[in-house]
């Protein structure tokens, strides 16, 4: 053991010296890298109204010649739009679906430099990996500064179960701090076993040596994407979602415009542009083949699945990193919007507009999570509230055997016809990727911007200008909002939360005065739907997935809130009854296929019902007795009433635990099929230990006693006659 520690100490010391000499000898030294550029463009809060989508589409149809036309409304695309418009270029952006409808809304929600990439940089002396980490750490600090309402520093715990790993991981994390330089969020530190368990009590304590805590950032990715797009629009960019590119036009062999189609109205038209940027993420190659059908693919798509678990799985203010899963991948376990995100997987996949999570990937994540949690936290399949898959647009490298070994480095490529393609990269570095792309566009198309240099380093994003950490108190005091709702609005909209609150309906209660919730378990209110339409939401999916994050947090709750959401959107967008039905159908399919509802249902349906016909009829009658109002489900109050009738006293806390065990839909309701499955599992012995099992057995005994007593009474009555 001592020889191993000596070897590790010598290796880390040598690596430190090599990395320090390497960084200092580079042309782009740490001092120069982190020097903030002077921002000449105005960064004050724009007061002019946000153009409506109708006005934006009309502007695209007006015959303007744009300096730059950007295809793609994900993080990189909207970053390019903001960069171009703040340099004084006439800019247009079109997105075939919705802003952040693809990978940009399905991330791990982290703003990070990439600890594992730094590990590769040190171990392999890979300078490109080092530069990527250094750039990402600068961008991490920038995002935390320019959008403080949508981001937060997040401590992440790296638990250590072998003593020799303590100096190894401590060195790696300290190097992470060193590379960040003066742009570091907070310094990392070591925790003893006792202190580790105090901060993360759910953690498995067996063989735990301690933990190392480091800091990264966390964001609401879809709302960040939208905020960047809105910022670009307020500064003069013409942006339109649900507008697709059908064809690229050329003049004398050079790109000169495109054929566009409004997917909402069906109308098509041509637009002229001096330069076209392809920022379509996983769909990069499809646009490149519009330019040249014979071009080779450059993207290697990889599927990353995440799941959302209840908030009690993790502390509210600390995440966890599993650096070495059973198959060598990294798993994050992070608190997010009162829930817990776990992920991600990393598997080669096909490019699709509707990626779906698979049962195998969900079970893999649950298995890895279970390895780190103590026995009191039973990791159950029924606890998966939502699950989604995002396609990472990794840049392929023919020398690497699998996607796990791919770094998310980006490439900027200009075709002979002038198509500028930005591919690869990651969320955190969207701004620097955009800056490099616009630099290349200016050069290749010989554009004449007002500002030659990038203006977005330190450029405040929509909602950031007047935001403060205590701004929510003004919302409570001035509008009479519930505190939880006010905090949510402040964090989601920043200083634009006041505009949202003004649209809120009266509740008719003494408190809160305004703000009708669209679902009782979440702080989303009616006003957000009306405001969301002004943020270019065109469909019910746009609303429940990206303006509100309900679909990502709890797929069943999203389904329950859907009719109310559609009703309010119908008022704003003048939908007919047929259109409302179509929106509900499309959104329901989205929840079922892309948000994990169907996978959850299929998992539940695998539980066999091994009951005879007579037993099934008995349990159906018993369920109908409990469900006296014929709702089709029983609630916790129904169960409490039933047990009281049987003379059993059970506390409210015990009932809630029972509900969590048998409610596989996680909707607070136990339906007949769930009831039958649970009774079958109890009867066949599949449920070895649960309060519900014991109570069900008591209920069974109670019914048997009742039957026996009736029989005795009848026999005695018969004997008396």
Q: What is the per-residue pLDDT for 344?
A: 84
The H-or-E segment that residue 637 falls in is: helix 636-645
Please identify which residue in the block is written with the tokens 């990353």: 304
**Which tokens go with 239?**
């942006």
pLDDT at 689 over 80: no
pLDDT at 622 over 80: no
**Which tokens go with 278?**
């392809």
Q: What is the per-residue pLDDT for 379?
A: 87
Contact 218, 151 (CB under 8 A): yes
Average pLDDT, the chain: 85
pLDDT at 309 over 70: yes
Lowest mean pLDDT among 44-48, 489-493, 524-528, 678-682: 678-682
Measured from the Cβ of residue 72, the count of other Cβ atoms closer than 10 Å reads 27
Average pLDDT over residues 530-559: 97
DSSP at 1: -
Please identify which residue in the block is written with the tokens 């008591």: 698
SS (H, E, C) 642-660: HHHHCCCCCCHHHHHHHHH
Q: What is the per-residue pLDDT for 349?
A: 87
Q: What is the per-residue pLDDT for 664?
A: 52
Q: Which is nearest to 62 in space by CA: 70, 54, 72, 52?
A: 54
Question: Judging by DSSP bridges, how do beta strands 91-95 and 238-241 pair with one another?
Answer: parallel
**Which tokens go with 355?**
């990626």
Tens of pLDDT along 101-122? 999 999 999 999 888 788 878 8
Please identify which residue in the block is written with the tokens 């969020």: 185
**Burial class (CB within 10 angstroms; exposed 0-12, middle 13-18, buried 19+) of 243:** buried
Contact 8, 168 (CB under 8 A): yes
* C-alpha span between 395 and 403 (Å, rounded): 10
* C-alpha span between 548 and 529 (Å, rounded): 8
Q: What is the per-residue pLDDT for 18?
A: 46
Q: Which is nearest to 388 in space by CA: 301, 308, 321?
A: 308
pLDDT band at 6 (very low <50, low <70, confident <90, very high): very low
Q: What is the DSSP string of 96-110?
A: SS-TT-SGGGSS--E
- pTM over 0.75, yes/no: yes
Tens of pLDDT along 183-212? 899 999 999 999 999 999 999 999 999 999
Higher pLDDT, 254 or 14: 254
pLDDT at 3 over 50: no
Cα angle for residues 622, 623, 629 (degrees, 5° grid): 120
Helix (H, G, I), strand (E, B) or coil at 339: strand
Question: 192 pairs with which residues across the strands?
Answer: 210
pLDDT band at 323 (very low <50, low <70, confident <90, very high): confident
Q: Which is nearest to 599 in space by CA: 363, 312, 311?
A: 363
Q: What is the per-residue pLDDT for 381?
A: 86
């Amino acid at each position: 053991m001592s020889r191993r520690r000596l070897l590790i100490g010598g290796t880390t010391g040598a690596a430190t010296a090599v990395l320090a000499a390497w960084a200092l000898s580079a042309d782009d030294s740490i001092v120069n890298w982190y020097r903030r550029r002077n921002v000449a463009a105005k960064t004050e809060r724009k007061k002019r109204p946000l153009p409506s989508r109708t006005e934006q589409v009309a502007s695209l149809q007006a015959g303007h010649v744009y300096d730059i036309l950007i295809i793609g409304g994900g993080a990189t695309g909207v970053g390019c739009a903001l960069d171009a418009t703040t340099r004084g270029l006439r800019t247009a952006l079109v997105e075939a679906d919705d802003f952040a409808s693809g990978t940009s809304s399905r991330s791990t929600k982290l703003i990070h430099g990439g600890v594992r990439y730094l590990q590769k940089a040190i171990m392999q002396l890979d300078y490109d990996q080092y530069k990527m980490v250094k750039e990402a750490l600068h961008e991490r600090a920038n995002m935390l500064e320019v959008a403080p309402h949508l981001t937060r520093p997040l401590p992440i715990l790296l638990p250590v179960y072998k003593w020799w790993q303590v100096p190894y991981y401590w060195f790696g994390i300290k190097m992470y701090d060193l590379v960040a330089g003066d742009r570091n969020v907070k310094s990392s530190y070591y925790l003893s076993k006792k202190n580790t368990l105090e901060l993360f009590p759910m953690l498995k304590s067996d063989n735990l040596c301690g933990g190392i805590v480091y800091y990264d950032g966390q964001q609401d990715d879809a709302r960040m994407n939208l905020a960047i797009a809105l910022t670009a629009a307020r500064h003069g960019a013409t942006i339109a979602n649900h507008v697709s590119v059908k064809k690229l036009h050329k003049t004398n062999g050079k790109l000169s415009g495109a054929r566009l189609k409004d997917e909402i109205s069906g109308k098509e038209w041509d637009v002229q542009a001096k330069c076209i940027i392809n920022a379509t993420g996983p769909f990069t190659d499809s646009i490149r083949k519009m330019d040249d059908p014979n071009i080779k693919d450059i993207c290697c798509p990889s599927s990353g699945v995440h799941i959302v678990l209840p908030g009690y799985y993790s502390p509210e203010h600390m995440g966890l990193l599993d650096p070495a899963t059973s198959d060598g991948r990294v798993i994050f376990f992070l608190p997010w919007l009162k829930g817990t995100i776990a992920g991600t997987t990393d598997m080669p996949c096909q490019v699709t507009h509707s990626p779906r999570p698979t049962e195998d990937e969900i079970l893999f994540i649950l298995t890895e999570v279970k390895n780190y949690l103590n026995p009191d936290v039973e990791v159950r399949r029924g606890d998966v509230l939502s699950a989604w898959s995002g396609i990472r647009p990794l840049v392929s490298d023919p020398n690497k055997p699998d996607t796990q070994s791919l770094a998310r480095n980006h490439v900027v490529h200009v075709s002979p016809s002038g198509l500028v393609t930005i591919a690869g990269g990651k969320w955190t570095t969207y701004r620097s990727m955009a800056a490099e792309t616009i630099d290349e566009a200016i050069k290749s198309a010989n554009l004449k911007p007002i500002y030659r240099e990038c203006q977005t380093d330190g450029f405040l994003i929509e909602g950031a200008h007047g935001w403060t950490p205590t701004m929510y108190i003004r919302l409570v005091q001035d509008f009479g909002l519930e505190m939880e709702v006010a905090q949510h609005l402040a964090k989601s909209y920043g200083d634009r939360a006041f505009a949202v609150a003004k649209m809120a309906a009266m509740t008719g209660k003494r408190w809160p005065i305004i703000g009708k919730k669209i679902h009782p378990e979440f702080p989303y209110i009616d006003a957000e739907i009306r405001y969301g339409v002004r943020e270019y939401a065109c469909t019910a999916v746009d609303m429940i997935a990206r303006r509100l994050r309900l679909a990502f947090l709890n797929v069943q709750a999203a389904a329950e809130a859907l009719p109310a959401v559609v009703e309010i959107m119908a008022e704003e967008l003048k939908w007919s009854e047929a259109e409302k039905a179509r929106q509900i159908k499309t959104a329901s399919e989205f929840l079922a296929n892309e948000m994990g509802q169907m996978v959850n249902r299929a998992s539940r349906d695998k539980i066999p019902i091994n009951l005879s016909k007579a037993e099934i009829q008995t349990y159906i009658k018993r369920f109908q007795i409990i469900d006296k109002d014929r709702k089709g489900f029983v609630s916790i109050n129904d169960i409490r009433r039933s047990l009281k009738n049987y003379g059993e006293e059970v506390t409210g806390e015990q009932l809630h635990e029972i509900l969590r065990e048998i409610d596989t839909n996680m909707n607070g309701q136990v339906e007949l099929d769930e009831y039958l499955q649970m009774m079958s599992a109890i009867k066949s012995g599949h449920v070895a230990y649960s309060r519900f099992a014991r109570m069900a057995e008591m209920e069974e005994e109670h019914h048997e006693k009742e039957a026996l007593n009736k029989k005795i009474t009848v026999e005695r009555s018969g004997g008396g006659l």
